[in-house]
Amino acid sequence: AQWVVMKQWQRDPSSDDDPLGDGSHVGIDDLRILREQFVDFMLGYKFAIDEVTTKINILREDFNNTHEYNPIEHVGSRLKSPESVLEKVRRKNYAMNLAAIRENVLDIAGVRVVCSFISDIGTIRDMLAGQEDITVLEERDYITHRKPNGYQSMHLIVSIPVFRSDRTELIPVEIQIRTIAMDFWASLEHKIYYKYRGEVPPNLRTDLAQAAEVATQLDEQMEALHRQVDRGVQPKPK
């Protein structure tokens, strides 16, 4: 399968290298160059994850210091594997070259921010989107408009500059911001979805939708409690 992918590889119009030319012949040197180019390409996404993760850690520490309150529970990240990148390119029928992959596959770098409360999601979103070197390319608010299965999360696709040794690259990063309850739900749904290879039985689908509803109720109750404490409801005098 890997071989077929390689043969489909097209000339990158923005590059002087043409390892495959018209794609009719693949030599061992061509493959080596191709592999090096791809590794270098993927490294840019790893650096972009490092940049975004640092930004979020700075926000966490600074917010904690200034407001004596931490809106971020945890931060995670993942780099799409080369196999899944190529799989997505084929599935979506994108052109098989690095420029086209950069333009079309926007979730190679993924960062997930898990917040304590619903209101923290907007706070973190605004703090990231407002930064000078961040450009928001796309925004999907699955909290105001949750998915039919119950999925809730705030999704941003941002573009961020990465300063390489010999050039600057603008790299897209998918940032998912959600509460602990939304994250808990999504990880279970993900497992179920994979177990049933996308064909989740109707009774499980109903249960999942109900669980999403309960998660929302919990989030709303926690938010209300948090506000009460914030407003400084005094403990009863002894």
- Catalytically active residues, by annotation: 174
Of residues 8 and 84, the one with the C-beta less far from Mg ion: 84
Between 32 and 147, CB nearer to ligand GTP: 147
Q: What is the rounded distance in angstroms from the CA atom of residue 182 to the CA atom of residue 220?
A: 12
Q: Which is nearer to ligand GTP, 164 or 191 (CB)?
A: 191
CA-CA distance, 235 to 1, in Å (whole number)? 66
Question: Whole-number minimum distance, CB 107 to Mg ion, in Å?
Answer: 4
- Tell me the closest approach of the beta carbon of residue 44 to Mg ion, in angstroms: 18
CA distance 41 to 19: 15
- Where along the sequence are the contacts to Mg ion (CB under 5 A)? 107
Q: How far is the CB of 227 from ligand GTP (least distance, A)?
A: 29
Q: Which residue's CB comes closest to Mg ion? A: 107
Q: How far apart are CA 43 and CA 37, in angstroms?
A: 10
> Which residue number places its CB atom closest to ligand GTP?
151
| C-beta of residue 111 within 8 angstroms of C-beta of residue 174 | yes
Minimal distance, residue 208 CB to Mg ion, in Å = 19
Contact of residue 47 among ligand GTP, Mg ion, none (CB under 5-8 Å per partner type): none
User: Which CB sits closer to ligand GTP, 63 or 174?
Assistant: 174
Q: Label residue 45 exposed, middle or buried (CB < 10 Å: 0-12, 13-18, 19+).
A: buried
Helices 118-129 & 28-67 angle (0-180, nearest 10): 120
Calculate helix-pair angle for 28-67, 82-91, nearest 10 degrees.
100
Identify whether the C-beta of residue 37 lies closer than 8 Å to the C-beta of residue 17: yes
